[in-house]
Amino acid sequence: MVDVWLGAFATVFTVPNILAILLGVLFGVFTGSLPGLSSTMALAILIPFTFTMDPATGLILLGAVYSASVYAGSLSAILLNTPGTPSAAATVLDGYPLTRQGLSAKAIGISAIASGIGGIISVIILSTVAPFLALQSLRFGAPEYFALAIFGLTIISSLAGKNPWKGLLAGGLGIVIATVGMDPIQGYPRYTFGRAELLEGFALIPVLIGLFSASQAFHLMISSKSSKSSGPDISNVTGNVLPRLKEIRKLLPNIARSSIIGTGIGIIPGVGTDPAAFIAYNEAKRWSKEKEKFGKGSLHGLAAPEASNNAVTGGSLIPLLTLGIPGNAVSAVFLGGLLIHGLRPGAELFTASGDIVYALFFSLFVANILVIIIGLSGARVFSKVLVVKPVVLGPIILLLSIVGSFAIGNNYYDIWVMLAFGVIGYMLRKYGFPLAPIVLALILGPKAEQSFSQSMLISQNDWTIFFTRPISVTFLVLAIITFITPFILDRRAKNS
């Protein structure tokens, strides 16, 4: 174990990898702080860049962007009363009141420290739990993977978004789109209409770039007409960034609790960063002696969601790296980054490619420390980023999407796929359909079908194979429960 970490240490502390962390954090802070640019988009657009890099460097870059962009959503939440990423929605509650009291610098400082600690705690949990869980993944045969994929699909679809019908429909659409191409067992071409390009289905990376980056670009450009206003007014960052040690010590139990909540929620597929932040906020309020201060600029109310949403990053990587189940849209994109380097989630990843995985863990640790340092030292500089008008970014993101999807395989067809999914993504997003279920269904759907067929081959067409194995039956029951829960809750809400 020790030499694994020493190896990771040696890998991370090389010039390109340290540069990757530093620039990843800067890029993450930039995209995260701008309202309208999400972590998912930032990662999707970076994948083509990581492709030519060493696998470890590429993943380290993606990990740093992931951590930093989740943190940076709080900058505009605190300064502008607008969350830079959805995960910072809870940060607005106490962050903006602090700004109005002239304590914006302190708020930024606290949020950086809480985010960094939250991230670090989640990385510690990730690096202790994941290798163990990865070994457990050997217990998963075809029936277990089928049950797990079905569970992942239902939980993601029913929890994403306000309207469960739309989440489930998005998931269903993803599964149907995923059937395009040769089927996983017999290799029969389905819905290819004689086009050889469609034989292997839609490639994941152009689809991701289209759904998350191009659709965002369309949105930024088209919504520009309705919002003619000039750049937002930024109040100057005032006060001392560095909080007093006593204040931090008081916040620590709260930060630790919120981090554990965040990590735990991150592990559950589909819940994501935004609910994690709100749950941690409510818990902090429940445990606090000064409940009345919440919503009026409580430091506890600021630290809790910040620690929690950053802790989700480490948590969401646990099911991703061990079982290949992405916990949210960002980690689905992260999976794309893994696959492009030929890395497959599971026990194998931790043994054969252990050096890369542990280097990734260690780099996340370093990235979170950097988040604290940059958050504390660069608060005034980054607040200036917020004046960039999102309108300008639309065409640039679009161009990057085009070049990026071409760069992966150097072919035009991928650009068309990207654009098509950009259009689909824009339309769906506009009418309240969450995009995460589509991507997750694209990943999990074929997995479910293949493991279903494999189970049937192994059991010689005996359906009971899914119900006689404990892990498989557990996940199937959980899947049924998550599928119907939103509708039961809905009925109850109506009756009362």
Partner 1 sequence: MKKNLLKGLMALTLALLLITLAGCGQEEASTNEETNEGGSPETTFNYPTKPITIINPFSAGGPADNTSRFLAHHAEDYVGTSIVVENRDGGSGTIGQTAGANADPDGYTLTLITSSIVSNPLFNNVTYTHESFEPIIMTVNDPFYLVVNPDAPFDDIESFMKYAKENPGQITLGSSGTDTVPAFTLRELALEEDIDITMIPHDGEAYAVAAAAGGHIDGLVGNFSGFESQFNSGQLKPILIFDNERSELAPDVPTSEEAGIDIISGSWRGIAAPAGTDPEVVAYLHEKFKETTENEEYQNQMKNAGIDMSYRGPEDFKEIIQDTYNRYDMFTQE
Partner 2 sequence: MSKINKIISLIFIVIGAFTFLWSFRFPEATSAWPKFFSIILILLAVGLLVDSLKGTKRDESEEDLPSLSEFGMFAVIIGALIVYMLLLNIIGFTILSLLLLAGLLWYTGYRNVIKLGCISVGSTVLITVIFQFLLRVPIPQGVLSNLL
Strand partners, 181: 190
d(CA 14, CA 118): 26
| Contact between 221 and partner 2 per CB under 8 A | yes
Q: Sign of the C-alpha dihedral, residues 316, 350, 475, 177?
A: positive
Strand partners, 190: 181
Binders of partner 2: how many residues, by CB under 8 A? 52
| Contact between 242 and partner 2 per CB under 8 A | no
Q: What is the DSSP string of 68-136?
A: HHHHHHHHHHHHHSS-SSGGGTTHHHHHHHHHHTT-HHHHHHHHHHHHHHHHHHHHHHHHHHHHHHHHH
Q: How far is CA 140 from the centre of its chain?
A: 25
Q: Which of 244, 344, 430, 491 binds partner 1 (CB under 8 A)?
A: 344
Closest to 388 in 3D by CA, of 112, 98, 106, 75 = 75
| Contact between 384 and partner 1 per CB under 8 A | yes
Residue type, 285: K
Q: Which of 1, 228, 245, 496 binds partner 2 (CB under 8 A)?
A: 228
| Residue 120 or 203 having the CB closest to partner 2 | 203
Q: Sign of the C-alpha dihedral, residues 314, 315, 317, 322?
A: positive
Binding mask 194-223 for partner 1 (x = CB under 8 A): --xxxxx--x--------------------
d(CA 33, CA 31): 6
d(CA 210, CA 44): 9
d(CA 287, CA 290): 9
- Segment near partner 1 (CB under 8 A); pick from 79-87, 178-186, 275-283, 473-481: 178-186
| Residue 52 or 464 having the CB closest to partner 2 | 52
Q: Sign of the C-alpha dihedral, residues 128, 134, 137, 139?
A: negative
- Of residues 438 through 467, those in contact with partner 2 by CB under 8 A are 445, 449, 452-453
- Of residues 153 through 212, those in contact with partner 2 by CB under 8 A are 162-163, 165-166, 168-169, 172-173, 175-176, 179, 183, 185-186, 188, 190-191
| Contact between 186 and partner 1 per CB under 8 A | yes
Q: Which of 4, 12, 20, 415 binds partner 1 (CB under 8 A)?
A: 20
Min dist. Cβ of residue 238 to partner 1 (A): 19
| Contact between 225 and partner 2 per CB under 8 A | yes
Min dist. Cβ of residue 76 to partner 1 (A): 13
**CB under 5 to 8 A by kind: which of partner 1, partner 2, none does 366 bind?**
none
* Helices 354-377 and 2-12: angle between axes, nearest 10 degrees: 50
Binding mask 35-54 for partner 2 (x = CB under 8 A): -------------xx--x--
The CA–CA distances, whole Å, from 4 to 114, 258, 401, 429 equal 29, 29, 37, 43
| Contact between 396 and partner 2 per CB under 8 A | yes
- Segment near partner 1 (CB under 8 A); pick from 2-10, 88-96, 254-262, 454-462: 454-462
| Residue 138 or 423 having the CB closest to partner 2 | 423
Min dist. Cβ of residue 190 to partner 2 (A): 6
Q: What is the DSSP string of 32-71?
A: HHSTT--HHHHHHHHHHHHHTS-HHHHHHHHHHHHHHHHH
* Helices 164-178 and 142-159: angle between axes, nearest 10 degrees: 140
d(CA 148, CA 139): 12
**CB under 5 to 8 A by kind: which of partner 2, partner 1, none does 387 bind?**
partner 1
d(CA 306, CA 116): 9
| Contact between 138 and partner 1 per CB under 8 A | yes
d(CA 118, CA 310): 6
Task: Name the site residues for partner 1 (rule: CB under 8 A).
Answer: 15-16, 19-20, 23-24, 26-27, 30, 49, 51-54, 57-58, 61, 137-142, 182, 184-187, 196-200, 203, 231, 339-342, 344, 346-348, 351-352, 384-385, 387-389, 392, 396, 408-411, 413, 446-447, 450, 454, 457-458, 460
Task: Name the site residues for partner 2 (rule: CB under 8 A).
Answer: 48-49, 52, 162-163, 165-166, 168-169, 172-173, 175-176, 179, 183, 185-186, 188, 190-191, 218, 221-222, 224-225, 228, 391-392, 394-396, 398-400, 402-403, 406-407, 410, 412, 415-416, 419, 423, 426, 430-432, 445, 449, 452-453
